[in-house]
């Protein structure tokens, strides 16, 4: 069960999955803006132009406040998602185990500067005998 949870965590917190989730949420919030724009501005203008309905000044103010409310909701949603992703990314960085540096398997010959096996006592390139310890880079 622990392996399953670990695999799910890796799957769910991958970068592209997080991007997709943010895209869906922002798309939903943006849909609210488009709906508000259509319902509160475009439809009343079309009805006014065609003479289907008459609006007074208070109705227009109500439509504008509804649209502004949808905009504020969108920006609040975007801010919350931004803060949430910052926290998740910070936790992911803390949760990663630092990979230990692998022990070097090669060294440089002090005479010809060729890469040679770390256990070598003679350079295969220049055939020099290696009596001293070579500094690791």
66: Cβ contacts below 8 Å, ≥ 6 apart: 36, 39, 40
> Do 90 and 107 belong together in one domain?
no
> Do 28 and 83 belong together in one domain?
yes
Note the pLDDT of residue 98: 56
> Do 46 and 60 belong together in one domain?
yes
**Per-chain mean pLDDT for the chain:** 79
Cross-strand partners of 122: 129
> Do 61 and 7 belong together in one domain?
yes
> Do 76 and 11 belong together in one domain?
yes
How far apart (Å, rounded) are the C-alpha atoms in residues 70 and 32?
6
How far apart (Å, rounded) are the C-alpha atoms in residues 121 and 8?
50
Q: Where are the alpha helices (DSSP H) in the chain?
A: 2-12, 15-37, 43-50, 57-95
> Do 28 and 65 belong together in one domain?
yes
> Do 42 and 10 belong together in one domain?
yes
Residue 2 is encoded by which pair of tokens? 């622990």
> Do 73 and 126 belong together in one domain?
no
3-state secondary structure of 120: coil
Written as one string, the DSSP assignment of 26-45 is HHHHHHHHHHHHIIIIIHHH
How far apart (Å, rounded) are the C-alpha atoms in residues 33 and 74?
7
For residue 118, the enclosing domain spans: 101-137
> Do 9 and 74 belong together in one domain?
yes
> Do 34 and 91 belong together in one domain?
yes
Note the pLDDT of residue 36: 87
Note the pLDDT of residue 134: 45
Choice among 10-19, 27-36, 81-90 with the minimum mean pLDDT: 10-19
> Do 69 and 25 belong together in one domain?
yes
Cut 0.85: pTM above it: no
How many separate domains does the chain show? 2
pLDDT in tens, 71-89: 888 899 889 888 888 888 7
> Do 86 and 118 belong together in one domain?
no
């Amino acid at each position: 069960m622990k392996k399953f949870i670990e695999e799910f965590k890796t799957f769910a917190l991958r970068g592209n999955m997080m991007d997709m989730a943010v895209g869906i949420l922002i798309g939903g919030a943006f849909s609210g803006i488009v709906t508000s724009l259509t319902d509160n501005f475009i439809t009343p203008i079309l009805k006014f132009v065609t003479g289907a309905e008459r609006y007074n000044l208070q109705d227009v103010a109500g439509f504008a406040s509804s649209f502004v409310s949808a905009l504020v909701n969108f920006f609040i949603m975007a801010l919350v998602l931004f803060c949430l992703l910052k926290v998740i990314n910070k936790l992911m960085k803390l949760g990663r185990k630092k990979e230990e540096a692998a022990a070097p398997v090669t060294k440089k010959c002090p005479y010809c500067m060729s890469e040679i096996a770390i256990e070598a006592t003679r350079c295969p390139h220049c055939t020099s005998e290696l009596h001293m310890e070579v500094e690791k880079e």
